[in-house]
Structure formats: C-alpha cells, structure tokens
Amino acid sequence: MINACSNFTVSVIVPIFNVEKYLEKGILSLFNQTLDGLEFIFVDDCSTDNSFQVLTKLIDSNKLGKSIQVVRHEKNMGVATARNTGLRLARGKYLASMDPDDWIEPDMLEKMYLTAEREKAEIVWCDYYNDYKSHEDYISQKVNENSGDCIEGMLTGKLLGGMCNRIVLHDLFLRNNITYPDGFNMCEDLNVCVQLYYYAKKVRHVDEAFYHYTKYRNESISLTSTGYLNVNEGWIENVKSIERFLIGKGFSNLNVSISLLKLAPKQNLLVKGNNISFYKKWREIFPESNKYIWNGDLPLHYKIIASNIIKDNWLIPKLWLFLKKVSGKF
C-alpha cells in the first residue's frame, strides 16, 4: 500500500454495484463539497446495470478540476474487495467513504476535516439521517469520545458501525495494516471500525448530521431472488473476526456486547422464518448468544418465541407460524 499524500485533504472511496437509479444524487453531493483538495475514487464492482455509464456521464459533465480515479473490476468481487481497491489507490491525508445510493451535505467533509485538524483527532464521526420516501429521521451518534466506549457502542448498535459518517486518518490504516476482509461482504466495515477505534489515540464527534442513508430501496441482502431466507456467511465470519480481535486485545468486559452482536446475523431466521427448520437453524448459529435474546431490542413477541425455541418448546412457535400463514404475512 502506498503512503498517504498530504497534497489531498480527503480521499473519498465509493464502491459501486447496480445503483443506477440512485447514483446521480450521491455523486453530485460529492462534487458539490465545499472542501478543497478532495480526491474521489470510484470502484465499480462489475455492475450489470447502467451504473458505470451513469458514473462516467456524471464525471464528464462536471468538469470541476477534481482529482478523480475510476476503476472497474473485471468480475464481481464484493464490496469488501472494492473498498480495498479504493484503499490501495487513496492518496489523501484522511479517508472517507460513501455508499453510492446515499448522499451527503455540502459542508460535511469540510467541517469534519477542520475538526480533525483542530483537535488532532485520528477519527471524526458525525450524526446522520435515515431517509425514507416520506420523511427523514435524525440519528444522534453522541457517545463518550474514547475508543472503549465507541467500540462498545458499535457492538450494541448505539453507534453506527459503518465508515460512511466518518473520516479517518489515512496513516491509521497504514501503521496498523488494516484492510477490509476480502470475500466477507456484510459487517466488513464494522470489522474495520473496531480495529481503527482500538488503535486510535484520539477520536472526536461532530454534533451535526451530514450523512443521508437511503432507506427505501427494495433490494434485500437477507433474501435470495427466490424469496427463501439466506444466512449471510460473510456476516457470521466478520462477527467471529471481531470477537477474536477483541478477546485478543483483552476486552473481557465486552462479552455481553459481543453476544448481542452475534444475534444480528441470524435475526432474520427468527423474524422472517416461515417454518420450524428456520427456527432450528437460528438456535444453532452462535448458540452461546441465545440466552441474551432478552437483552436485545426485538419486539417482545419475538423474544417469547425465541425463548421457547431455546427450550425446545414448539407450541408457541408453531402457533405463531400458523397465525402468520393465515394472515398472509409470508
């Protein structure tokens, strides 16, 4: 990996795959940033729609003197590898990321960069919005500005575990040989964030929302094209990796938080399962985490169903499946 180049303030990495309907708004929000010295790195992961054509047209029609790198993978490699491609190319002092179906406020990078420089912080993060078709929700990300509390917050969901509402000192990646886990394409950014916060000496929060997460796409990584539930093995492997890292670094106080994290990759088997086999599979994945179901934020009826599954009591789970079926909720 090459060394960071201070000639660029921030390198923004954008992995792209099949987002032609959403791409324009996000890309234009990058091109309209108020901060000078930006570098944009677009990595198209072999899109099968017109995403690449839309991207190149947007670049060609916005001759703004920006530093832009565009890479197109010859085959689909997954978002983790796409992010690593961006990492290898980046030359900015700080790194940022944006998902291509989202968008950011025009002063986001300037305010976060100035905070990082003023505070000598290696990680700066901000609040964000969840954007729905009819409204948006403001999501506060205020936690204590220390690495331990931030890691615990990410494990429990209080703090976003993604890269998109952050800028990170490029050298923090380089010094600690941090890259994304190739081939494991769910929770890959949380895996990286946990490591970054562990090694960071100083982190700071900006109490404003700049990032907009699009929450009305129909696609779901939890369901296959045939509609059958699918367990994301990459998600499971990243959770295992996070656990190994934290245990290796002596975070024995986070056992409960790690257990709550383990409930996440199998949650859809419980919530969307349509027969007993899915419930049994839920019980078998990370079984040591099952007893913490009452500590999570699922609705009460799912906690009751789960507690009966754990005890091998099938009357209530079967009754729930029957009620779902007759009500047409499958």
> What is the reported pLDDT for 325?
86
> What is the reported pLDDT for 330?
56
For residue 4, which phi and psi values (nearest 5 degrees)? -65, 145
Element (H, E) at 195: helix 188-199
Please say whether the beta carbons of 191 and 152 come within 8 A. no
Average pLDDT of every residue of the chain: 91
Distance between CA atoms of residues 183 and 130, nearest Å: 27
> What is the reported pLDDT for 220?
38
Is 70 exceeded by the pLDDT of residue 314? yes
Q: Which domains does the chain have, with CATH numbers?
A: 8-214 (3.90.550.10), 233-327 (no CATH)
Is 50 exceeded by the pLDDT of residue 226? no
**Listed residue (204, 193, 190, 198) closest to 145, CA to CA:** 204
Instruction: Among 225-239, 245-259, 304-318, name the most confident range.
Output: 304-318
Burial label, 288 (beta-carbon count in 10 A; 0-12, 13-18, 19+)? exposed
Is 60 exceeded by the pLDDT of residue 4? no
Where do we find the tokens 């948006």? 136
| Residues β-bridged to residue 126 | 206
> What is the reported pLDDT for 65?
64
> What is the reported pLDDT for 7?
81
Please say whether the beta carbons of 54 and 83 come within 8 A. no
pLDDT: which is higher, 109 or 219:
109
In the structure, what pLDDT confidence band is assigned to residue 328 with cuts at 50, 70 and 90? confident
> What is the reported pLDDT for 324?
87
> What is the reported pLDDT for 6?
62
The pLDDT tens digits of the residues spanning 103-129 come to: 999 999 999 999 999 999 999 999 999
Write the single-letter amino acid at 212.
Answer: H
